[in-house]
Amino acid sequence: MATSRAASPLAAYVLHQYDWSETSLIVELFTRAQGRVVVAAKGAKRPTSNFRPVLLPFHPLLVQLGKPPKDEQAEVLNLRSAEWAGGAAFLASSALYAGFYVNELLLKLLPRQDAHPTLFDAYAGTVTALAEGADESPTLRAFELVLLRELGWLPALDAATLTGQTLEAGARYALQADAGLLAHGDGLPGTTWFALEAALSQAGLAALQTACVPVAGALRVPLRNLLHYHLGSHQLRTRDVWQGVMRLVDSR
């Protein structure tokens, strides 16, 4: 008689959680194999629950999920198990806000049940970099570039979007939310866009983070504009909270 085999655990991170009942939680997970999923962690608030010490943001997890419900409209799965996968990331101070900003981007832009392994790996690398004290601005710009490319919203960075012509190394180009990459005197040199495209498409996250270091400040506004263009009416609360904190610090 054949025996059923348990599904392999999924690599995952906690993006957000909220109360479901007096003892349970609804948890938004970002998994490598299934993308963003929402699960019910039954009994997670009990002092003796195995979920209680592990369902924390920025900690790599291995989770097992229950079978999908018969009702195709239902999106909530049962969380059967969750365990720490090692390499816990402890984010402090502004790095913590940067981490929550990344989480909020995924929650508001990534559809549920849409797997993006490359984006998951970039998220894991971003969290690790923030925990290790990396400069937050280029780290966030690199993640934003990967996110936009994975969702199909970032044009090729080695060609003018409207004409398809390869960029000229010495000319300057700007990234605009509604028109893509186009010639603009206040933009970045073609060589910079070439380097970013090469790192983004071939070299990996670490190389992309390095490529973003000298231009992180110049990339912040165009990338944020592009993100807001696709966010529509949604506002990013994390950024507003952090700006409020910085204003309070400056006033003191």
Collapse the DSSP code of 182 into the 3-class scheme (helix H, G, I; strand E, B; otherwise coil) and give the result. strand
Beta strands in the chain (DSSP E): 10-19, 25-31, 35-41, 61-65, 76-84, 172-176, 180-183, 188-189
Please write the tens of the pLDDT for every residue from 217-237.
999 999 999 999 998 866 777
Please write the tens of the pLDDT for every residue from 29-76.
999 999 999 999 998 889 888 888 899 999 999 999 987 766 555 678
pTM for the full predicted model: 0.89
Please write the tens of the pLDDT for every residue from 153-189.
999 999 999 999 999 999 999 999 999 999 998 999 9
Q: Is the model's pLDDT at 16 over the cut of 50?
A: yes
How are beta strands 35-41 and 76-84 bridged, if at all?
parallel
227: exposed, middle or buried (Cβ count in 10 Å: 0-12, 13-18, 19+): buried
Q: Is the model's pLDDT at 23 over the cut of 70?
A: yes
- CA–CA gap between residue 212 and residue 52 (Å, rounded): 38
Q: What does the block give as tokens for 7?
A: 């599904």
Average of per-residue pLDDT values in the chain:
88
